[in-house]
């Protein structure tokens, strides 16, 4: 009989939420085992199905704990400088987000702070936030630019984002969000700024390999569908996938625009209508729901979750971690909010930070589920049932985090 290669690591005695199937449900395996070789899952199944005589260099017994795929925070603006607490205080006093933005605050005040910050300062501030996410079992983070708004500063943000992935045991995915707001030096000329993004910034950033995808903010206070469409065409011309901040504050038909361009995801979506949801379903565009921003802006209209279900739109859940609308460094809290505020089921939430979040990043082949060949990224939870992972506010039941087969805590 051929000699069987031992696993590098083997976890036994766990209940597994594999997220392996496309359909609803968690793909549960009771009394399961996971074996890793070279950072990938080489076995996943009931412990009783382990090949006879299987051995491992290291074996861990999990005593009935639950294992999910490592969590994925698929929409963040985690690299920024300073904070906007004073703006929040103004909003608490009655000011509104769009008025603050039109008066030169909002995103543009973070742009000022980022332009003044060194790369080292940005990295230190972002790493502190990344560490909070990792402590909750996150193994993949998407990070957007969009607070630089000129080539040098957008590159600076994306370099810092890439460096976070080298500094910590985490998969870091970057997104260029040049079309986030109009910088002051553009003197009000939105079309000229879009030209600059398409002909100068985007090609330089793509050539430097700094972005894995391209995003935009389609909104009355930001850019029109036509302007975003030009950015998307330029991105596709360079072979980069696209995604969109859509219908967050008003219905600007952003969901349909994203779908028309084959976007990986459309994000926020509070004001998306039935036609937008239908277009997303037909295009396979994932709805990324961001309840932290909804909560901090004290929005009243929740995204059309029932329409997303009707049209078979996958739903992901993310923090939107940013200094303005979502100063939030807890994916567990975002998960709780997605259930409490948006009405997602427990299974939808858990799929939304694993399988659907992976799909929103175009990474479903490598992460987001416990299947042979996928990265061995695991979150191991001291809970009796998966709902307890995000039930208790302010409580973190993570027992251990595994990144590419290595226990990191």
Report, in Å, the least distance between residue 56 CB and Fe ion. Answer: 41
Task: Report CA torsion sign: 45, 50, 55, 61.
Answer: positive
Residue 107 binds which of ligand DI6, Fe ion, none (CB < 5-8 A, kind-dependent):
ligand DI6
**Which residue is at the shortest CB distance from ligand DI6?**
324
Among 137, 229, 281, 324, binds ligand DI6 (CB under 6 A): 324
Stretch that binds Fe ion, among 251-259, 315-323, 347-355, 365-373 (CB under 5 A): 315-323
43 vs 217, beta carbon nearer ligand DI6: 217
| 7, 33, 50, 188 from 54: Cα distances, Å | 8, 11, 7, 66
- C-beta of 18 vs 248, nearer to ligand DI6: 248
Nearer to ligand DI6, 248 or 336 (CB): 248
In 3D space, the residue among 348, 307, 392, 358 whose CA is nearest the CA of residue 71 turns out to be 358
Here the tokens at position 163 are 């460096």
Among all residues, whose Cβ is closest to Fe ion?
320
User: Closest separation between CB of residue 349 and Fe ion, Å?
Assistant: 19
Question: Is 245 one of the binding residues for ligand DI6 (CB under 6 A)?
Answer: yes
Q: Which of 64, 47, 56 is nearest to 5 (CA)?
A: 56
Q: By CB under 6 A, is residue 293 in contact with ligand DI6?
A: yes
**Binding track, positions 247-286, relative to ligand DI6; x by CB under 6 A:** -x--------------------------------------
Q: How far is CA 399 from CA 68, 323, 388, in A?
A: 12, 29, 13
Which among Fe ion, ligand DI6, none contacts residue 324 (Cβ within 5 to 8 A by kind)?
ligand DI6
Q: Does 91 bind ligand DI6 (CB under 6 A)?
A: no
Give yes or no for residue 154 binding ligand DI6 (CB under 6 A).
no
Q: Alpha helices of 238-369 — where are they, by DSSP H?
A: 254-260, 274-283, 291-296, 305-310, 331-340, 346-352, 355-360
Among 318, 322, 330, 369, the residue binding ligand DI6 under the rule CB under 6 A is 322
Q: Is 320 in the site for Fe ion (CB under 5 A)?
A: yes
Angle at which helix 119-134 crosses helix 151-167, to 10 degrees, equals 40
Within residues 93-132, the interface with ligand DI6 by CB under 6 A covers 106-107, 110
DSSP 15-44: EEE---SSSSS--EEEEEEEEEETTEEEEE
**Contacted entry of ligand DI6, Fe ion, none for residue 110, CB cut-off 5 to 8 Å set by kind:** ligand DI6
Q: Does residue 323 bind ligand DI6 (CB under 6 A)?
A: yes
Residue 323 touches which of Fe ion, ligand DI6, none (CB < 5 to 8 A by kind)?
A: ligand DI6
Q: 10 Å Cβ neighbour count for 43?
A: 18
Q: Nearest distance from residue 238's CB to Fe ion, in Å?
A: 22
User: Measured from the CB atom, is 77 or 355 closer to ligand DI6?
Assistant: 77
- State in angstroms the smallest separation of the CB of 388 from ligand DI6: 29
Q: Which residues have a Cβ under 8 Å from the Cβ of 16 and sit 6 or more positions away?
A: 27, 28, 29, 32, 34, 44, 66, 67, 370
Which residue from 230, 275, 262, 223 is spatially nearest to 246, judged by alpha carbons? 223
- What is the rounded (10 degree) CA torsion for 161, 166, 171, 177? 10
Q: Cβ of residue 258: shortest distance to Fe ion, in angstroms?
A: 14
> What is the distance between the terminal CA atoms of the chain, rounded to a whole angstrom?
38
Residues of this chain that interact with Fe ion (CB under 5 A) are 320
Binding-site ranges for ligand DI6 (CB under 6 A): 77, 106-107, 110, 180, 217, 245, 248, 293, 320, 322-326
């Amino acid at each position: 009989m051929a000699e069987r290669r031992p696993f590098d690591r083997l976890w036994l005695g766990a209940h597994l939420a594999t997220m392996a199937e496309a359909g609803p449900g968690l793909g549960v395996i009771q009394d399961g085992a996971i074996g890793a070789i070279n950072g990938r899952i080489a076995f996943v199944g009931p412990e009783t199905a382990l090949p006879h005589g299987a051995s491992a260099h290291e074996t861990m017994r999990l005593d009935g704990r639950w294992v999910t795929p490592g969590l994925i925070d698929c929409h963040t603006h985690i690299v920024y400088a300073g904070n906007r607490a004073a703006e929040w205080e103004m909003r608490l006093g009655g000011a509104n987000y769009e008025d603050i933005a039109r008066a030169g605050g909002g995103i543009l005040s973070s742009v000022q702070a980022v332009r003044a910050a060194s790369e080292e300062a940005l990295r230190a501030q972002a790493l502190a936030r990344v560490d909070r996410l990792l402590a909750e079992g996150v193994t993949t983070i998407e990070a957007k630019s969009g607070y630089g708004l000129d080539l040098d500063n957008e590159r600076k943000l994306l370099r810092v984002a890439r460096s976070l992935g080298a500094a910590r045991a985490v998969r870091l995915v970057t997104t260029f969000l040049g079309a986030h707001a109009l910088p002051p030096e553009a003197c009000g000329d939105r079309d000229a700024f879009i030209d600059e993004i398409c002909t100068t910034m985007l090609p330089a950033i793509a050539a430097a390999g700094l972005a894995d995808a391209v995003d935009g903010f389609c909104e009355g206070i930001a850019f029109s569908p036509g302007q975003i469409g030009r950015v998307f065409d330029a991105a596709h011309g360079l072979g980069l996938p696209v995604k969109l901040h859509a219908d967050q504050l008003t219905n600007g038909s952003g969901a349909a625009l994203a779908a028309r361009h084959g976007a990986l995801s459309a994000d926020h979506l509070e004001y998306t209508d039935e036609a937008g949801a239908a277009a997303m379903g037909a295009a396979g565009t994932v709805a990324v729901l961001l309840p932290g921003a909804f909560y901090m802006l004290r929005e009243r209209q929740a995204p059309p979750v029932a329409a997303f279900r009707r049209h078979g739109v996958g739903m992901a859940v993310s923090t939107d971690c940013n200094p303005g609308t979502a100063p939030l460094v807890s994916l567990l809290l975002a998960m709780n909010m997605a259930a409490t505020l948006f009405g997602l089921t427990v299974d939808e939430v858990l799929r939304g930070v694993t399988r659907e979040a992976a799909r929103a990043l175009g990474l479903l082949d490598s992460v987001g589920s416990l299947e042979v060949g996928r990265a061995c990224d695991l979150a191991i939870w001291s809970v009796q049932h998966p709902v307890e992972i995000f039930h208790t506010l302010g409580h973190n039941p993570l027992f251990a985090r595994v990144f590419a087969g290595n226990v990191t805590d």
